[in-house]
Amino acid sequence: MATPSPAADSSSSTVQKVKRNLVMRSTWAELNGAMGDLGTYIPIVLSITLAKHLNLGTTLIFTGFYNIVTGAIYGVPMPVQPMKSIAAVALADPTFSVPEIMASGILTGATLLVLGVTGLMQLAYKLIPLCVVRGIQLAQGLSFALTAVKYVRKVQDLPKSTSLEKRHWLGFDGLILATLCVCFIVIINGADEDHGCHRQDPDQEVSRETEVRSKMRKMRRVFFSLPSAFLVFVLGVVLAFVRRPRVMHEFRFGPSSIEVVKMSKHAWRQGFIKGTIPQLPLSILNSVIAVCKLSSDLFPGKDFSVTSLSVTVGLMNLVGGWFGAMPCCHGAGGLAGQYKFGGRSGGCVALLGAAKLVLGFVLGSSLAHFFNQFPVGILGVLLLFAGIELAMASRDMNTKEDSFVMLICTAVSLVGSSAALGFLCGMIVFMLLKLRDWTNGKPLNAIWRHEDPNEQV
């Protein structure tokens, strides 16, 4: 009997790994988790589409493909988000158009790919202390939460990225609606890491003695297993059609034409100076290092490195950037949001990716007319919980010294609106504190050491 070749064994093990990574714990929970990143994705992509004529259909197709591939590779709800710094520059600078956006994304991706392949990203991960990473996560989470509150409280002009007058209490995008959505998600999901249907009551054995209590327990189990984020998003879809029924007639069936973007030398130069340089620190810190740390916290059994994350972000942009797809990266906020709402496997983002592919191929860029009617307050609600979940990752800073560094990093990042500036200040303060410890007789090898705070004495 012939023995299978090593190549066949390797291929078979790869297929089995992909299958395991895409297996969903619960269809409803994973579908609910897929909604956790839309509060970030939709406003940014829609803003660039309306302000800069980004090809929405192409972006949906490529990001949908990225979602499926990353879900199959990592086996966790790894998000695919627009690059926020590049998007901010595009919305603020009238001369920064699609060629500059694509050039900046390609150059950012190429840099991350080089950092990953050469091992420099892994070196950075080892050298950057945990308290500084937590500071970046806390700053990003609070930034998301503050943006979410702004979405809920005030009417938004997304193409100009500005807030207008205060939002009315009533209406299909009013304060009362957003408040009810927040209350609904809090009741269903609470502040726990898992859904209520997984919590066990210590008195359950006693409660089975009566049929009435048994029925009430079943009703509670069904209620707390409702996909809250998915239901809120569906409500937004319904309200978008109610607000403007004629939007149905603006749909154009069929994918948008995918064309190679022509980029001049000027576009490459401006893309690098205005887009790549400010985006790189955010991508390295929040899209690679913070994501890797958060993934190890949420999914201890999954082992993937900053090298693999850096390479996947690089490849995504080196492929899609030439065809007009919005520059993308991973993001700790998206991962936290999808985990908060129930995402536990690669199948979560694979579902989202499949939906993007269908919408991209069937409706293309005409979908922008619909999302322009989607209640921004509901997007704010989804973004709020994603931001809070990301900020809560910093709760493991148990020493006063680590908390001090983390809060310095967070404060500077928020006030200066720059993760790079916050990172720099955090590293300086961290080194000054370690220098003080060294002068007091502590060994040098304690300066950079990733330790579990729970193991500290």
Residues 35-44: tens digit of each pLDDT? 988 988 999 9
At residue 445, the pLDDT reads 57
Which DSSP string do the residues of 150-208 spell out, in sequence order? HHHHEEEEGGGTEEEEEPPSSSTTSHHHHHHHHHHHHHHHTTSSS-GGG---TTHHHHT
Kindly report, residue by residue over 10-39, the tens digit of the pLDDT.
Answer: 667 888 888 888 988 788 889 999 998 898
Q: Is the pLDDT of residue 159 over 90?
A: no
At residue 189, the pLDDT reads 80
Higher-pLDDT residue of 362, 92: 362
Higher-pLDDT residue of 274, 191: 274
At residue 204, the pLDDT reads 45
At residue 48, the pLDDT reads 93
Strand partners for 157: 162
Higher-pLDDT residue of 235, 440: 235
Average pLDDT over residues 91-100: 91
Which DSSP string do the residues of 108-154 spell out, in sequence order? HHHHHHHHHHHTHHHHHHHHS-HHHHHHHHHHHHHHHHHHHHHHHHE
CA 108 – CA 86 distance, rounded (Å): 10
Q: Is the pLDDT of residue 439 over 80?
A: no
| Mean of per-residue pLDDT scores for the chain | 86
CA 95 – CA 344 distance, rounded (Å): 41
Q: Is the pLDDT of residue 178 over 50?
A: yes
CA 273 – CA 342 distance, rounded (Å): 39
At residue 257, the pLDDT reads 84
Domain ranges of the chain: 16-398
At residue 201, the pLDDT reads 46
Q: Which helix (H) or strand (E) holds 368?
A: helix 367-371
CA 299 – CA 348 distance, rounded (Å): 14
Give Cα 87 to chain centroid, integer Å.
15
Please give the share of the chain, as a percent, with pLDDT higher than 70.
Answer: 88
Within 10 angstroms of residue 408's Cβ, the number of other Cβ atoms is 19
CA 136 – CA 155 distance, rounded (Å): 28
* 82: DSSP letter: E
Q: Is the pLDDT of residue 207 over 50?
A: no
Q: Which residues have a Cβ under 8 Å from the Cβ of 388 and sit 6 or more positions away?
A: 141, 145, 340
Q: Which two tokens stand for residue 59?
A: 């972006």
Helices 419-439 & 400-416, crossing angle to 10 degrees? 150
pTM comes to 0.84
Q: How confident is the model at residue 361 (pLDDT cuts 50, 70, 90)?
A: very high
φ, ψ for residue 154, nearest 5 deg: -130, 150
Q: Which helix (H) or strand (E) holds 290?
A: helix 290-298
Query: Which of 365, 442, 366, 373 lies closest to 401 in space, CA to CA?
Result: 442
Q: How many helices (H) and strands (E) does the chain have?
A: 22, 4
- Whether 222 and 26 have beta carbons less than 8 Å apart is answered as no
